[in-house]
């Protein structure tokens, strides 16, 4: 059997660092949103026995195809937690989501594998049960599986569904730089706590359906502490195109902007494409990974 899954990217509408725990992990409060930019992940059960997993990602030579790829960790977590007898697998990743962007391109591929294996092996797990498996190999993988608009707290693994983000147009641009997550956290640790959470304010705007107010609450603590000129330049261009607001996603380096007017969003895409290779026009989604095709 072969299952093809559409695996969406995510953006962070907010990312507040609440504090650092005694065990070294950071507590966060953030609102995450899936968007209509997808990787396509195809999982095929091969004949025979054994635990062999073959991974291919034809258009992205930088993506590892050995056991270090998160899709292998996803498959092994599925077999371990369900106690299903492992079988040889072929996993093909068609990437559209840029890597090292803060868009969860790896995490969403891992979530897609768990969803596909649940159907291939007829384990009939609920979405929540699959999300519990996903939590074993990545903090934002459960969100990528479930999708929509969610609040993430604690270390990012405690999820609460929120009112859906209002319809809008979201432009995403990924510059040719990468950001060190470790360096970003270290910079946050060196700052005094700011005493309030942008996340709380943004959630209020979600429930009042105030997209303009919501766009004024976009916030990413990593962006604030890292002060990256390339990020600021993209944001300036987006705001010049009449975006309601713009922010970096996750640990970067992708930047996104919210538009109400589609023509203004399209104009922004065209302007950014003159300088950057990875520019996308997307919309907010109400769900996460979904099965696109089933082949016997």
Catalytic residues: 10, 140
Q: In sequence order, which residues have a C-beta less than 8 Å from that of residue 156 and are 6 or more positions away?
A: 28, 30, 139, 140
Q: Residue 36, class by beta-carbon neighbours within 10 Å (0-12 exposed, 13-18 middle, 19+ buried)?
A: middle
């Amino acid at each position: 059997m072969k299952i093809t899954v559409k695996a969406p990217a995510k953006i962070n509408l907010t990312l507040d660092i609440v504090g650092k725990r005694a065990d070294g992990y950071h507590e966060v409060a953030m609102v995450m949103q899936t968007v209509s930019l997808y990787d396509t992940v195809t999982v095929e059960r091969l004949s025979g026995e054994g635990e062999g997993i073959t991974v291919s990602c034809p258009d992205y030579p930088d993506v590892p195809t050995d056991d270090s790829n998160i899709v292998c960790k996803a498959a092994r977590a599925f077999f371990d937690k369900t106690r299903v007898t492992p079988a040889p697998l072929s996993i093909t990743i068609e990437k559209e989501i840029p890597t090292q962007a803060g868009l969860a391109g790896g995490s969403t591929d891992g979530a897609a594998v768990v969803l596909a294996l649940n159907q291939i092996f007829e384990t009939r797990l609920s979405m929540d049960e699959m999300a519990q498996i996903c939590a074993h190999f990545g903090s934002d993988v459960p969100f990528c599986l479930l999708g929509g608009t969610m609040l993430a707290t604690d270390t990012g693994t405690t999820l609460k569904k929120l009112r859906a983000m209002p319809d809008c147009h979201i432009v995403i641009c990924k510059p040719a730089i990468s950001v060190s997550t470790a360096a970003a956290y270290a910079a946050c640790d060196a700052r005094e706590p700011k005493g309030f959470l942008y996340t709380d304010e943004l959630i209020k705007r979600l429930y009042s359906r105030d997209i303009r107010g919501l766009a004024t609450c976009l916030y990413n603590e990593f962006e604030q502490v890292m002060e990256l000129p390339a990020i600021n330049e993209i944001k300036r261009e987006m705001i010049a195109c009449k975006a309601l607001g713009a922010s970096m996603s996750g640990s970067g380096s992708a930047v996104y902007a919210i538009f109400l007017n589609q023509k203004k969003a399209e104009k922004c895409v065209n302007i950014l494409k003159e300088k950057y290779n990875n520019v996308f026009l997307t919309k907010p989604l109400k769900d996460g990974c979904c099965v696109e095709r089933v082949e016997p």
